[in-house]
């Protein structure tokens, strides 16, 4: 039986993934396959924090099992399959009580829970990761599918829950998340040391931003999450988690491995001539204007993308990435990836594909004595040695300080879904793909 839930946290506290460990702590069910952490459209204005929904499959485990975490020091496993049938009404009620007890009482928090013995049509995930989805339409679809569901308050979390129920995991990465009991602090130097340690394990990504002193594996300390380490190799993540946990000033209460759509670029659409607000695009074009700064240290430019002028921007949170962006010149050909908000593509990463030549004008060499002439006015040059004159300057190509290549924004500015250049998600044939409505 599949269970998905969303919208239990606020911008300040709680984490939806935490409810997985709390649900499993009761020991009533086994995990079938790994839990899924499914990030959705990062541009949605009413999102709480990371806009992530969670899906688990539970039952009476049988077949091959894989280590996927610990709860109170006891290992937990995910099983290949389930034997027997589970009661959807019973599971829905159990999860509802857990969510109702733990969700953040915040005006923007509206949990939703969905239970189903099959996965939903994939289009529901595709819409939720790229577009803004209507709650009423989601509820109509849930009723059409005959699903069991419950919402709390306005139930907007049903959108994310339904999207998680339709994710196929065609491209995945992993995250191992450690949880704490109570509000326990970690010294900043310890955080940096741990984040750098995690970054050293094969296949991990987005662990630390050394230049900006940002230990990315550590979230807001007011959540139950101590750390989250992301990567493409499960075994290495377990090793990294053990090393980090050993450095902390308190023991970890539980840890869970999730398969995720983080770092997959699933939210990015190919540009085909139209741009829609709150969508994220991959778009190529020729730079039309040299980037100019605005108040707040944001940089703006524009490109010609198939005959259409598109405004692009590198905002202040992208830090040193702006030093690359501001070196662009009219005529450079680039590909940018970013969200379309308020008429502008907010760049998440960029590929410089071709650079135009930049020339510097110099006074010419004297044709008589070979000395460099002096500038005597606009297009007027005179040799200081022999008095020879010329009106024709010399042009020489300048060496550009930027090179063609792929440029990420720094770790502290990266979105959950954005795939950093140099990282490749796991391409996976999910065994559950055939269980479709």
Say what the pLDDT of residue 31 is. Answer: 97
Backbone phi, psi, residue 427, to 5°: -90, 120
Residue 434 has pLDDT above 50, yes or no: no
Say what the pLDDT of residue 180 is. Answer: 93
Say what the pLDDT of residue 183 is. Answer: 79
Question: Where do the structural domains in the chain lie, given as residue ranges?
Answer: 2-264, 268-355+403-413, 358-398
Q: Which residues contact 282 (CB under 8 A, 6 or more apart)?
A: 268, 269, 270, 271, 335, 336, 337
pLDDT band at residue 18 under the 50/70/90 scheme: very high
Helix residue ranges per DSSP H, 221-367: 234-247, 321-325
Q: E strand or H helix at 199, and its extent?
A: helix 188-199
Q: Which residues contact 134 (CB under 8 A, 6 or more apart)?
A: none
Per the model's pLDDT, the better-predicted residue between 208 and 181 turns out to be 208
Structure tokens at 67: 């280590």
Backbone phi, psi, residue 29, to 5°: -135, 155
**Claim: this prediction has a pTM higher than 0.85:** yes
Of 190, 267, 198, residue with least CA distance to 228: 198
Average pLDDT over residues 387-406: 95
Of 408, 250, 247, residue with least CA distance to 319: 408
Residue 430 has pLDDT above 80, yes or no: no
Is 113 within 8 Å of 4 (Cβ atoms)? yes
Average pLDDT over residues 175-196: 94
Residue 153 has pLDDT above 50, yes or no: yes
Per the model's pLDDT, the better-predicted residue between 50 and 147 turns out to be 147
Distance of CA 97 to the CA centre of its chain: 31
Is 55 within 8 Å of 144 (Cβ atoms)? no
Residue 323 has pLDDT above 60, yes or no: yes
Query: How much of the chain, in percent, has pLDDT values that exceed 70?
Result: 98
d(CA 42, CA 51): 6
Is 394 within 8 Å of 365 (Cβ atoms)? yes
Is 10 within 8 Å of 124 (Cβ atoms)? no
Q: E strand or H helix at 336, and its extent?
A: strand 333-341
Say what the pLDDT of residue 222 is. Answer: 80
pLDDT tens-digit profile of 23-68?
999 999 999 999 999 999 999 998 877 899 999 999 999 999 999 9
Average pLDDT over residues 169-183: 94
For residue 223, the 8-state DSSP code is S
* Beta-sheet pairing, 308-314 with 380-382: unpaired
pLDDT band at residue 378 under the 50/70/90 scheme: confident
Average pLDDT over residues 12-26: 93
Say what the pLDDT of residue 437 is. Answer: 42
pLDDT tens-digit profile of 233-251?
999 999 999 999 999 999 9
Distance of CA 62 to the CA centre of its chain: 34
d(CA 250, CA 254): 12
Say what the pLDDT of residue 317 is. Answer: 97
Q: Which residues contact 59 (CB under 8 A, 6 or more apart)?
A: 1, 29, 30, 32, 79, 82, 83, 84, 86
pLDDT tens-digit profile of 346-361?
999 999 999 999 999 9
Average per-residue pLDDT for the chain = 95
pLDDT band at residue 220 under the 50/70/90 scheme: confident
Average pLDDT over residues 314-332: 98
Residue 115 has pLDDT above 80, yes or no: yes
pLDDT band at residue 429 under the 50/70/90 scheme: low
Of 337, 340, 393, residue with least CA distance to 362: 393
Is 69 within 8 Å of 78 (Cβ atoms)? no
| CATH architecture assigned to 2-264 | 2-Layer Sandwich (3.30)
Say what the pLDDT of residue 85 is. Answer: 85
Is 35 within 8 Å of 259 (Cβ atoms)? yes
d(CA 396, CA 261): 49
pLDDT tens-digit profile of 57-84?
999 999 999 999 999 999 999 999 999 8
Residue 436 has pLDDT above 50, yes or no: no
CATH topology of domain 268-355+403-413: OB fold (Dihydrolipoamide Acetyltransferase, E2P) (2.40.50)
d(CA 423, CA 413): 16
């Amino acid at each position: 039986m599949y269970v998905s839930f969303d919208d239990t946290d606020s911008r300040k506290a709680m984490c939806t993934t935490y409810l997985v460990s709390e649900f499993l702590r009761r020991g009533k069910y086994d995990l079938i396959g790994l839990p899924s952490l499914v990030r959705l459209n990062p541009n949605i204005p009413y999102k709480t924090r990371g806009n992530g929904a969670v899906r688990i499959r539970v039952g009476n485990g049988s077949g091959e099992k894989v280590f996927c975490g610990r709860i109170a020091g006891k290992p937990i496993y995910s099983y290949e399959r389930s034997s027997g049938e589970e009661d959807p009404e019973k599971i829905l009620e159990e999860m509802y009580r857990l969510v109702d007890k733990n969700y953040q009482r915040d005006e923007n928090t509206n949990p939703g829970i969905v239970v189903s013995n099959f996965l939903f049509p994939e289009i529901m995930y595709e819409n939720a990761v790229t577009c803004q989805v209507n709650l009423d339409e989601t509820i109509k679809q849930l009723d059409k599918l005959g699903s069991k569901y419950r919402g709390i308050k306005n139930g907007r979390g049903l959108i994310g829950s339904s999207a998680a129920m339709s994710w196929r995991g065609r491209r995945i990465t992993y995250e191992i998340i450690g949880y704490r009991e109570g509000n326990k602090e970690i010294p900043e130097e310890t955080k940096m040391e741990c984040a750098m340690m995690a970054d050293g394990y094969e296949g991990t990504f987005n662990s630390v931003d050394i230049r900006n002193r940002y230990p990315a594996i550590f979230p807001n300390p007011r959540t139950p999450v101590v750390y989250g380490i992301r990567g493409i190799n499960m075994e290495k993540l377990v090793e990294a988690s053990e090393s980090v946990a050993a450095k902390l000033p308190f023991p970890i209460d539980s840890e869970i491995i999730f398969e995720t759509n983080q770092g997959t670029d699933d939210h990015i659409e190919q540009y085909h001539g139209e741009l829609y607000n709150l969508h994220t695009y991959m778009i190529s074009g020729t730079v039309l204007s040299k980037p100019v700064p605005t108040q707040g240290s944001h940089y703006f430019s524009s490109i010609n993308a198939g005959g259409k002028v598109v405004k692009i921007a590198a905002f202040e949170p992208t830090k040193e990435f702006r030093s690359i962006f501001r070196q662009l010149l009219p005529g450079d050909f680039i590909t940018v990836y970013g969200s379309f908000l308020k008429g502008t593509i907010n760049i998440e990463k960029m590929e410089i594909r071709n650079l135009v030549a930049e020339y510097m004008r110099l006074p010419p060499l004297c044709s008589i004595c070979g000395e460099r002439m002096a500038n005597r006015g606009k297009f007027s040059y005179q040799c200081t040695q022999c008095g020879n004159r010329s009106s024709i300057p010399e042009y020489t190509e300048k060496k550009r300080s930027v090179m063609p290549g792929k440029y990420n924004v720094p770790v502290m500015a990266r979105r959950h879904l954005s795939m950093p250049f140099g990282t490749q998600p796991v391409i996976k044939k999910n065994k559950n793909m055939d269980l479709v409505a």
